[in-house]
Structure 1
């Protein structure tokens, strides 16, 4: 297994900062439900010679972490995407950490058949009983769908072992990031195997937030990796992580509008194999989108196609002058970090 991934842009020339700032539109999109504590999603969209890209690091992220998201957006808008090997992508639907009674309403926002459902668990202030009740509500509403859970690193090792033992009845496809650290993932996986519980462990934050995205594979800490183009610096760098990890991959979104989902779709379309449904269906969690015809799945399948933001929607979703300036400074700081990383 190769032990490094390419640098940002890997020799490609960045557009100038002026060009980047002249071609940005910043939007604020309300959510249908709170998702990862977010009720309003702020995002910046860039228009370049290759199309559109989205820069949407969460507001609390540092410049160092956010810079990778800018690299991804610039790649999408100025370089374009690698050659695709498929035109359709299997997707899962996503159920946030809502009360069990809200599950039918959440699932009702998806079009047609739902084959896989990712259920958020380990939410602060909720209990294991809440998580199991949510899973049971999904299973009762969609008895033919396969289920997986995502804890976003919210459990301790003991809590993870207890919770995943209690969830064994749901025959989970995998459990995503049950604990925070790579070493913790390895220990949870080993302890579950000792109990004859063989739910696959998927690594998300341990890949996209790690200084070394390949550590998970080297330590045998996971069976699956969750890949998000933006936090890894773009489609090409994400493809390199998958190739060098040697693990099956699931492409997921970072709660973007359809512009960012198009980048995720380009990544999924370029992978040689997609053994699980991808997590690119989160546009349905938003009250509006930046494009007129949202990039969403029907019958569990997303068709890969171009997307172009709608000018009227961009005006409706535009942020205040003060917030616009805040984002432009953030873009400037991230751009300078990328330039320094290339030198």
Structure 2
């Protein structure tokens, strides 16, 4: 078990909601728009980043009326390790600082990046169904989220890399001093090499896990990491210096980890994932999620958030999904509009009925 005593205060349509006595499987059942996914989103914010919807902070706070000013929100949860509470994690905004997300761990302020050192959280949502046909940036974000499971400090390096790239772009545009460019490019090379190496390690570990899975009932994918430039610090630094005239003309850096790509093909057919059917793409996403769940649960406590996943699977795939999730260590949270698709785990799951932002334990 990973999380319990979860509280949501003025978050989305939840004025005040609590979830206690959680289990390995946790189900949120209710009509569309009731607030099920809002609970998953709240849990996803107990990790670095913008959560599973990538929403702005202003969108997250409850409003009694649509034109009301956001009043802030608060999310808290107790972390359970080996049957004991090991920490209280919380994230919130304040009414006078609605655009700044704050984090507390055991009551003490902490940077959001530290959350990944306590807990590994991953998710699969319907919005991710188009991942293989989406932009390379969307796939990089997907990889970076998963990379936190194997390297908790990955988020800090990604943020530092992005900030340094923006500063380099500004200096190139303004004709900045070469010494400043040298210093910024040194930061890009340092953080960029770590980011690239973490991504490559993650894909290697995922590939090992995926190779052990049977090709059915979930289509097994083959993953390939394509770096967008040198992954060695010295080589990346030299490339950035050499490419200054080209990058100045382009208005952006054309080489580096911000150009990395994840390539996916279906193992049985060799067809690129982007050209596969919607069902095959969904099956490959689930296979990646299950493989990542094994990695995420090998160290810190881990949580897997699955939004509306069971209803779109046939009975064979649904039973296999539940079987594999039951064997894993990650705490699982799932949503659905009705209970019958979850009949296979109903007897061992904690279940809440969600209605208009309120929760009723079943």
TM-score with structure 2 setting the length? 0.28
> In terms of Rg, which structure is larger?
2
Q: By percentage of residues, which structure has more strand? A: 2
TM-score with structure 1 setting the length? 0.29
